[in-house]
Amino acid sequence: AQSVAQPEDQVNVAEGNPLTVKCTYSVSGNPYLFWYVQYPNRGLQFLLKYITGDNLVKGSYGFEAEFNKSQTSFHLKKPSALVSDSALYFCAVRDKYPGGGNKLTFGTGTQLKVEL
Query: By the criterion CB under 8 A, which residues form the site for other proteins?
Result: 32, 34, 36, 41-46, 49, 51, 90, 94-97, 99-109
For other proteins, the closer of residues 22 and 94 by Cβ is 94
CB of 32 to other proteins, least distance (A): 6
CB of 90 to other proteins, least distance (A): 6
d(CA 89, CA 76) in angstroms, rounded, equals 9
CB of 1 to other proteins, least distance (A): 11
Rounded-to-5 percentages of helix, strand, coil across the chain:
5, 50, 45
